[in-house]
Structure 1
């Protein structure tokens, strides 16, 4: 039996203007120019230049548009939209915070991809079209950390089936060796051992005795080296203990991930900061990168065109369609300009709140002075939604006299102190942990249990599993692997 029921549902809607703002807010500075160019191309009512009397123009066409039969775009359900768009990290106090969220990398402001750099270098090789196709296939097989883990036999099959190019192992390896000479050193290696050898052979003086000894150790004692069986290396390589120390120092300074990537994101990049912090005798001033403040205006000719059309006979169907089109373009231009202005205002408001909250850090750049701070703290301070703060924090950076920092750097969870005082930032604990490891006796490195005891003595209430987690985040190996001669 069917029943008809009435239910009242309270839902929040996002207007097209709000969607425009949300999309623009999360665009990094480096990409904003491209986004503006895109809008200028599709909307003839939007122009570059100072506004002058643009506000009056907008008012003119807005007043004249009351009688036109134009419907706004359909509102969007806020829950659906935020579920799709909101990629921020979780917050303490919301029931869904995870400390592991801190390990995520923020979207970077600007970079050229590793593959683009390699393809550019490929163009400098004197290759025929067939060899170029093979080179591109090899570069396409390079993973984000810089390695080729796919077997050469499989790449030969890929070339035959997808490119209709027949080749063999000798030719493939010949072109691979050429690619392995590209920058960054170690790129396109098939394993760590080959990666280290490539880098050693590309040293300024590869025939230097120390470099030759390092190459020997990597080629012939690699397993012993990875397991730190130094006595076996001394015997096999026939070198003295002091020489082995120098060899190990040289090898450990090489880059094990030449792609500059550990989790799918490019790290070798040039960041364009969204903010610049000036410190004039202790007085801080935040300046928004000029790229964030483009000069845009509503087209006067389009505004006048709309005014003329609107005063004419609206019974003409084609004319009515023209009026509708022009109004939509003018509306869109006005919305875009407003969204850009709102973006600037929100960025400055959020950054100012972060700076006020972490003022002690900005004085001298000492990360131990960073206070525990979560998204909710800033959202409450500026009276905005947490998702808005997340969009700003996840894709923006600031230039200071101590370097360029992603805004996400300033957010961290709190660690309780044993004296019952105010919580400290986990960054402070990590800094202390790092100093303990740096100052340890490398012949008898500190275990995680000993590190816990030392941190507890310094007043940090921290568990062993947390120390292990922070040690991993700092890329500090376990005590056994930190042991030196």
Structure 2
């Protein structure tokens, strides 16, 4: 049985323009520049740079009263909506206070030799049989960025058989691996940290400290990693000074020999600050990176095309189709320019609210001055949605007098101190970090003792909370912080 009924419901849908704005807001400066380049390539109606003054009368009116339903195709187009002789489009009145000198230029990168190529070139200096060369090249190809081979020899035997048609044994691979171990940098091709340190010590000039360090790595590596110094003193029947010298030799070794290769051509991430905060005459000054305020305008040629269409007495179907295409491109250009202006405003307003909320920190640089701050605090201040604030804070950096900081690092939860005041968890972490740095390394403080010290300073937190904050700060447990 068929039945008809009316239903009323409220729903919220984002327009294409709003979606475009949200996507632009979350982009950091470098990604934003790439997005502009992409739009310039895809939309011929959009151009970069300043527009000639004599084209002011030829452009379309950038009013907000016009909305186009992309699904409706009009047979008659009101060209006057795009051409105006009476007023200057608002996008042409936008001020840009950034000079060309403020623009950061792209940094060229010199090409170089990769870590694996560096190792393969060294293999060419060895006299190897055809089988040994195949195995050696495969082993070098199995070395990761840190300089380690993290695969079982049996897996390598199987892979050589299946992929290289080389049938060999673990013994033969072990033999060729000793050749790989002779390559530079020292320690390359090791299968674990113990082997890596041993290979490096074996290359050092032999001294009593180096010999003792080698014995410790070979015979008491577990005691060394757990810092059981008393057991080491007893096992090798040595003095504290001798042990201290041996440990000094080990600490000078490189646990990741591949990571410091000078010719490594891994992608280097360069942070481009989206904002800059300076202290001028005792006041904070916030600026938006000039690269976030590009000069864009609508193509003069496209608006001239519309003028030609308007003047034409006879209009064919192909002309109407062409004008529909022009109309769509002009709409897209207008929306994109408007979205960029809104993006600039949203970024500045949001960062200004964060700066004012953390005023004491930006004036002093003392992380203990950071106030508790969550996304909702800033969203309420600027009367925007929490998701918008999240997009601004995500993956964006601010250049401060104390270094370039990730914006989301200024957000933190709050805790109550012994006086009932809200304090930032960042403040507690900073005090914990300072307390650990000032401890006696011969008798490092346990988590229980750290909790008691923080309680005495007015921060009543549990031992498990201290352990959590310590792990977040990458501070090892007390036993591993011990020094002889």
String of CA shifts for 1:137-183, please: whole Å, max 9, x gaps.
9668737x775533354356556656x575863698489659873xx
Partner of 1:462: 461
> Secondary structure of 2:114's partner?
helix
Aligned pair 1:126/2:128, yes or no? Answer: no
> Is the alpha carbon distance of 1:435 and 1:171 closer, same or farther for their aligned partners in structure 2, counting shifts above 3 Å?
same
**1:329-408 equivalence runs, <5 A:** 329-408=329-408
1:141–1:150 CA contact under 8 A, matched in 2: no
> Is the alpha carbon distance of 1:4 and 1:415 closer, same or farther for their aligned partners in structure 2, counting shifts above 3 Å?
same
Where does structure 1 lack aligned partners over 5 or more consecutive residues?
74-109, 261-265
Partner of 1:150: 151
Q: CA deviation at 1:367?
A: 0.3
Aligned pair 1:272/2:266, yes or no? Answer: no
Tell which deviates more after alignment, 238-247 or 6-15: 238-247
**1:60-71 equivalence runs, <5 A:** 60=61, 71=71
**1:14-413 equivalence runs, <5 A:** 14-51=14-51, 59-60=60-61, 71=71, 120-123=114-117, 126=121, 142=144, 148-154=149-155, 157-158=158-159, 166=166, 169=173, 173=177, 181=185, 190-196=191-197, 213-235=212-234, 239-248=238-247, 251=250, 269-309=269-309, 312=312, 316-413=316-413
Partner of 1:426: 425
2:136–2:177 CA contact under 8 A, matched in 1: no
Distance in 1, Cα, partners of 2:181 & 2:306? 64
Q: CA deviation at 1:449?
A: 1.8
| CA RMSD in angstroms, aligned pairs only | 4.3
Partner of 2:475: 476
> Is the alpha carbon distance of 1:269 and 1:298 closer, same or farther for their aligned partners in structure 2, counting shifts above 3 Å?
same
Q: CA deviation at 1:376?
A: 0.7
> Secondary structure of 2:60's partner?
helix
Q: CA deviation at 1:444?
A: 3.0
Partner of 1:96: none
Distance in 2, Cα, partners of 1:304 & 1:294? 24
1:69–1:324 CA contact under 8 A, matched in 2: no
Distance in 2, Cα, partners of 1:460 & 1:336? 50
Distance in 2, Cα, partners of 1:17 & 1:172? 62
> Is the alpha carbon distance of 1:452 and 1:327 closer, same or farther for their aligned partners in structure 2, counting shifts above 3 Å?
same
Aligned pair 1:415/2:415, yes or no? Answer: yes
Distance in 2, Cα, partners of 1:142 & 1:296? 45
Q: CA deviation at 1:437?
A: 1.9
Partner of 1:86: none
Tell which deviates more after alignment, 149-158 or 270-279: 149-158
Q: CA deviation at 1:297?
A: 1.7
> Is the alpha carbon distance of 1:119 and 1:58 closer, same or farther for their aligned partners in structure 2, counting shifts above 3 Å?
farther
> Secondary structure of 2:121's partner?
coil
1:57–1:298 CA contact under 8 A, matched in 2: no
> Is the alpha carbon distance of 1:213 and 1:171 closer, same or farther for their aligned partners in structure 2, counting shifts above 3 Å?
closer
> Is the alpha carbon distance of 1:69 and 1:381 closer, same or farther for their aligned partners in structure 2, counting shifts above 3 Å?
closer
| TM-score between both structures, scaled by the size of structure 2 | 0.74
> Is the alpha carbon distance of 1:379 and 1:207 closer, same or farther for their aligned partners in structure 2, counting shifts above 3 Å?
farther
Tell which deviates more after alignment, 297-306 or 213-222: 213-222
Q: CA deviation at 1:276?
A: 1.7
Where does structure 2 lack aligned partners over 5 or more consecutive residues?
74-105, 125-129, 260-265
Distance in 2, Cα, partners of 1:137 & 1:438? 42
2:418–2:460 CA contact under 8 A, matched in 1: yes
Distance in 1, Cα, partners of 2:412 & 2:447? 22
Number of corresponding residues: 431
> Secondary structure of 2:287's partner?
strand
Partner of 1:12: 12
| TM-score between both structures, scaled by the size of structure 1 | 0.74
Distance in 1, Cα, partners of 2:114 & 2:448? 50
String of CA shifts for 1:100-134, please: whole Å, max 9, x gaps.
xxxxxxxxxx999xxx9997344555389998999
> Is the alpha carbon distance of 1:221 and 1:72 closer, same or farther for their aligned partners in structure 2, counting shifts above 3 Å?
farther
> Is the alpha carbon distance of 1:429 and 1:323 closer, same or farther for their aligned partners in structure 2, counting shifts above 3 Å?
same
Partner of 1:97: none
